[in-house]
């Protein structure tokens, strides 16, 4: 296992100089700071928003390939975190929004012994707010196409700040490669989070991530959006705005996946999805929104079994 200790952090997903070269098949262990740049010792070592570790240059990766990232482990590494206390105004009805105050920061204790986070000073009439720990990787992305550099506040077909609560240990993510080496970034660890990251923050804290990098050479087509899988589901991730477009992108990518990698006809792909597809929401608080389309792997396996 290779250890990578970051010394520089980025606030854009872009074609920055490789910070670490990795080979397909290698396992890397690294350290992420929180969304405001504070590390495991509570020291600010970089700037908001969502400072990224990397880029990891994957040897042999060329435009058109797929980068594979297996999330082997995400471990929190300090005893506190923070969040915000108020829904973002664009997430409530406009008439209600007129009465919404500015958000303020909440602080939480991370209680490793009881595997939960505990809100400090809960607002009345709440007596306690406790949520089980479930570490999530808020940001994962590669260098975008066309020479773009995109703020780590948002997301796109390159991944980015997707704030999807399914990005946990056990998930394998496939990312499109747009530039040589792919240039993988990660950051923005959450001790836990809702769908939507509705207040603009998960439970923000620092963490350590262990992941395995893989590479699929053009197979046979370029993926358009991120894909993921775990033991149970296939996932496709659309990052766009409005949410309707994000849903379109994720849904279309699922059709493509079934056709391209499973060899299904268009009709067969649609029939499998028709009674079984599910959706979850990632980031609903940046300039693009994240919609995830899920399909049970068992229904595909059963449909193709002899």
Structure tokens that stand for 4 in this block: 């990578």
Beta-sheet strand order (sheet of 278-281): 2-4, 27-32, 207-216, 66-76, 172-176, 226-229, 233-240, 289-296, 278-281
> Three-state SS for 251?
helix
To a second copy, the closest distance from the beta carbon of 27 in angstroms equals 30
Q: Is 8 in the site for a second copy (CB under 8 A)?
A: no
Q: Are strands 20-22 and 52-58 parallel, antiparallel or unpaired?
A: parallel
Q: Is 247 in the site for a second copy (CB under 8 A)?
A: yes
Applying CB under 8 A, among 59, 148, 212, 261 the residue interacting with a second copy is 148
What does the radius of gyration of the chain's CA atoms come to, in whole angstroms? 19
Pick the piece of the chain touching a second copy (CB under 8 A) from 17-25, 56-64, 93-101, 209-217.
93-101
Pick the piece of the chain touching a second copy (CB under 8 A) from 36-44, 54-62, 95-103, 181-189.
95-103
Q: Is 128 in the site for a second copy (CB under 8 A)?
A: yes
Pick the piece of the chain touching a second copy (CB under 8 A) from 8-16, 22-30, 31-39, 228-236.
8-16
Write b or e for each residue in 32-47: b if 16 or more Cβ atoms lie within 10 A of its Cβ, otherwise e.
Answer: bbbbbbbbbeeeebbe
| Binders in 283-302 for a second copy, by CB under 8 A | 284, 287, 289, 299, 302
Q: Is 90 in the site for a second copy (CB under 8 A)?
A: yes
Q: Is 91 in the site for a second copy (CB under 8 A)?
A: yes
Q: Is 275 in the site for a second copy (CB under 8 A)?
A: yes
| Binders in 25-64 for a second copy, by CB under 8 A | none
Applying CB under 8 A, among 1, 7, 41, 98 the residue interacting with a second copy is 98
Q: Token match 């570790």: residue? A: 53
Q: Is 17 in the site for a second copy (CB under 8 A)?
A: no
Structure tokens that stand for 148 in this block: 């773009």
Applying CB under 8 A, among 202, 235, 283, 286 the residue interacting with a second copy is 202
CB 58 within 8 A of CB 215: yes
d(CA 270, CA 285): 31
Torsions phi, psi for 287 (to 5 deg): -70, -20
d(CA 295, CA 299): 8
| Binders in 209-238 for a second copy, by CB under 8 A | none
22 vs 110, beta carbon nearer a second copy:
110
């Amino acid at each position: 296992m290779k250890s990578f200790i970051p010394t520089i952090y980025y606030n854009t997903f872009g074609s920055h100089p490789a910070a670490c070269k990795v080979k397909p098949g290698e396992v890397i262990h690294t350290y992420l700071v929180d969304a405001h740049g504070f590390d495991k010792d509570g020291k600010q070592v970089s700037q908001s928003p969502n400072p990224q570790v990397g880029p990891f240059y994957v040897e042999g990766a060329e435009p058109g390939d797929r980068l594979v990232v297996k999330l082997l482990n995400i471990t929190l590494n300090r005893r506190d975190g923070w969040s915000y206390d108020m829904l973002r105004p664009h997430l409530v009805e406009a008439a209600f929004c007129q009465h919404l105050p500015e958000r303020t920061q909440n602080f939480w204790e991370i209680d490793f012994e009881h595997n939960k986070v505990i809100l400090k000073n809960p607002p009345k009439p709440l007596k306690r707010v406790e949520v089980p720990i479930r570490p999530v990787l808020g940001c994962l992305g590669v260098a975008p196409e066309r020479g773009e550099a995109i703020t780590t506040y948002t997301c796109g077909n390159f991944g980015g700040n997707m704030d999807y609560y399914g990005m946990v240990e056990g998930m394998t993510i496939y990312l499109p490669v747009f530039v040589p080496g792919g240039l993988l970034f990660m950051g923005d660890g959450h001790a836990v989070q809702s769908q939507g990251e509705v207040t603009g923050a998960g439970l923000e804290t620092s963490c350590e991530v262990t992941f395995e990098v893989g590479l699929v050479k053009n197979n046979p087509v370029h993926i358009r959006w991120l894909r993921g899988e775990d033991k149970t589901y296939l996932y496709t991730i659309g990052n766009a705005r409005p949410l309707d477009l994000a849903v379109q992108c994720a849904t279309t990518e699922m059709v493509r996946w079934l056709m391209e990698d499973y060899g299904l006809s268009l009709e067969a792909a649609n029939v499998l999805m028709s009674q079984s597809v599910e959706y979850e929401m990632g980031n609903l608080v940046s300039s693009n929104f994240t919609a995830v389309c899920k399909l049970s792997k068992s229904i595909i396996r059963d449909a193709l079994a002899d």
